Amino acid sequence: MISLLVVDDERSMRDFLKILLVKEGYEVETAPDGKQALALLDKQAFDLVITDIKMDGMSGLDLLNSIKEQFPALPVVMITAFASPDDAVFAMKNGAFDYISKPFNVDEIKTVIIAATSKTSALAEAKSISAQFPEIIGESREMIKIFEMIQRIAPTPANVLIYGESGTGKELVAQAIHRLSQVAEQECVPITCSAIPEELMESELFGHVKGSFTGAISDKQGLFQLADKGTAFLDEIGELTPIIQTKLLRVLQEREVKPVGGTKVQAVSVRIIAATNKILEDEIMAGRFREDLYYRLAVVPLRVPPLRERKGDVPLLVDFFLKKYSKAFGKEIQEISSYAMEVLMKYDFPGNVRELENIIERGVALETSNIILPESLTLSSFRTSKTNPSIPELSPFQIVASEDELFERGLEEVMAETEKLFLNTALEKTGNSKMQAAELLRISFRSFRYKIKKYELG
């Protein structure tokens, strides 16, 4: 139930609002002044405060300031007199969620309350759903969508194709789907398609009978027999060779397997969770992946977004990895400096969560103080991502990891590397047009040409 605190020094107004809002289904407390309001806020959690501005003693604006200090996330709606629009402007500047001016109509106040509380309830919902996935850190809208999707599809037998860049957490998502599935008590049998040579792949997937090839010294069960009536996790599915793709498709269609060298088929029922960091549609277009197999696997396609599309999760992940590695390395580091955090927020993580984890692991190992400073962050050199159309802001820490490194390599070398990266970025963005690249960098065509010759960039 959503609880509201109404603050007004006029009794009739308090009573009017209370009756109105209780009828709307809210839980309502009232306070006659700012002091008593703050006392109530100390005792009880509210979702929204509605306060008059003009009150004797502590004004509504003073109350707003105190609330923003002590409960920064709590929305506050101000009631202003129609005649004083300046108060409203001032309140908004000081963090009020919105204001309504007296005399107000009932619909207006209802709309404002719904707007103010739906934000908090969305946040609470995000927290409660992400709590059900303690191993997957994230409260961004993108991750919430993934959690909801996992909850919806996990109990069904539908095959799932998880795709996304390397290091985004596809394997964690696959495990979570299995954990919430009907067959969770069985093992989820994994296989990494890229790690197995084609000659062995068929036997790994479907098993073999003794003597079917050199080295087949006994009958062997394949993935499909082992995972029967359960889940199989096919990682890096984009690496399957055409022959194996065809055989796998047949198994999925017929729901039966024949071991290598065998004559009898066995009925199997396996739910497949596949993962890939390739865009399979592109692989299909290029003739490298069978379209019919794709549709069998991607009954539910699930995209795990790259970390740069959910930067809001970076602080949570940093916190999680700091705790993990502080503990593992027996250190007391619980914090990261705000400048170091800023550096991370600007970075675009080509290696996604795995890269962030490595950065923090290394940072904890290197740091000698009890707070991570930018100097302890080693980001891979400045990179522009193809999917990010704007030229990323340059941070010196993206070229060199630390002041020490800068001094060691010298300004000349570091500046040259910076220059090279920008020249390359400009060339890439303009499809190798030197004229446009020079324009983009705001230097003359002649000096651009001189520089790319100097660095042998083409």
Residues that bind Mg ion (CB under 5 A): 171
Query: What's the closest the beta carbon of residue 189 comes to ligand ATP, in angstroms?
Result: 17
* Token duo for residue 219: 């009958």
- Residue range at the interface with ligand ATP (CB under 6 A); choices 52-60, 97-105, 124-132, 351-359: 351-359
Nearest residue to ligand ATP by CB is 169
Q: Do residues 376 and 333 make contact, with C-beta atoms less than 8 angstroms apart?
A: no
> CA nearest 305: which of 186, 387, 414?
387
391: left (phi over 0), alpha (psi -120 to 50) or beta: beta
Query: What's the closest the beta carbon of residue 205 comes to ligand ATP, in angstroms?
Result: 19
Q: Does 5 bind ligand ATP (CB under 6 A)?
A: no
Query: What's the closest the beta carbon of residue 223 comes to ligand ATP, in angstroms?
Result: 18
Task: For 307-334, give the DSSP string.
Answer: GGG-GGGHHHHHHHHHHHHHHHTT----
The bridge status of strand 266-267 relative to strand 371-372 is unpaired
* Token duo for residue 208: 């073999």
Query: What's the closest the beta carbon of residue 234 comes to ligand ATP, in angstroms?
Result: 12
Q: Dihedral sign, CA of 53, 56, 62, 64?
A: negative
Q: Does 443 bind ligand ATP (CB under 6 A)?
A: no
Query: What's the closest the beta carbon of residue 138 comes to ligand ATP, in angstroms?
Result: 5
265, interface contact from ligand ATP, Mg ion, none, CB < 5-8 Å by kind = none
- Neighbouring CB atoms inside 10 A of 420's CB total 17
Q: For 30-42, b where at least 16 C-beta lie within 10 A, e where not — what string?
A: bbbbbeebbebbe
The bridge status of strand 188-192 relative to strand 256-257 is unpaired
Figure out which of the listed residues 168, 231, 326, 384 binds ligand ATP, where binding follows CB under 6 A: 168
Q: Which amino acid is at 428?
A: E
168, interface contact from ligand ATP, Mg ion, none, CB < 5-8 Å by kind = ligand ATP
In the complex with ligand ATP, the residue whose CB is nearer, 165 or 204, is 165
- The SS3 call for residue 22 is helix
* Token duo for residue 146: 């993934």
The bridge status of strand 256-257 relative to strand 266-267 is antiparallel
Figure out which of the listed residues 169, 222, 306, 363 binds ligand ATP, where binding follows CB under 6 A: 169
In the complex with Mg ion, the residue whose CB is nearer, 162 or 340, is 162
Figure out which of the listed residues 354, 362, 383, 429 binds ligand ATP, where binding follows CB under 6 A: 354
In the complex with ligand ATP, the residue whose CB is nearer, 169 or 259, is 169
Give every CB contact of residue 64 below 8 A, 6+ residues apart in sequence: 51, 76, 78, 91, 94, 95, 96
In the complex with ligand ATP, the residue whose CB is nearer, 303 or 409, is 303
Give every CB contact of residue 95 below 8 A, 6+ residues apart in sequence: 64, 68, 72, 76
Q: Does 146 bind ligand ATP (CB under 6 A)?
A: no
- With CB under 6 A, what is the number of residues at the site for ligand ATP? 15
Q: Does 271 bind ligand ATP (CB under 6 A)?
A: no
Query: What's the closest the beta carbon of residue 383 comes to ligand ATP, in angstroms?
Result: 17
- Residue range at the interface with ligand ATP (CB under 6 A); choices 4-12, 72-80, 160-168, 213-221: 160-168
In the complex with Mg ion, the residue whose CB is nearer, 171 or 405, is 171
Query: What's the closest the beta carbon of residue 169 comes to ligand ATP, in angstroms?
Result: 3
- Residue range at the interface with ligand ATP (CB under 6 A); choices 146-154, 165-173, 423-431, 440-448: 165-173
Task: For 349-396, give the DSSP string.
Answer: -TTHHHHHHHHHHHHHHH--SSEE-GGG--PPSP---TT--SPPPP-H
- Residue range at the interface with ligand ATP (CB under 6 A); choices 79-87, 136-144, 284-292, 422-430: 136-144
Residue 260: DSSP 8-state: B
166, interface contact from Mg ion, ligand ATP, none, CB < 5-8 Å by kind = ligand ATP
353, interface contact from ligand ATP, Mg ion, none, CB < 5-8 Å by kind = ligand ATP
Q: Which amino acid is at 367?
A: E
In the complex with ligand ATP, the residue whose CB is nearer, 171 or 281, is 171
Q: Do residues 240 and 197 make contact, with C-beta atoms less than 8 angstroms apart?
A: no
258, interface contact from Mg ion, ligand ATP, none, CB < 5-8 Å by kind = none
Figure out which of the listed residues 120, 245, 277, 436 binds ligand ATP, where binding follows CB under 6 A: 277
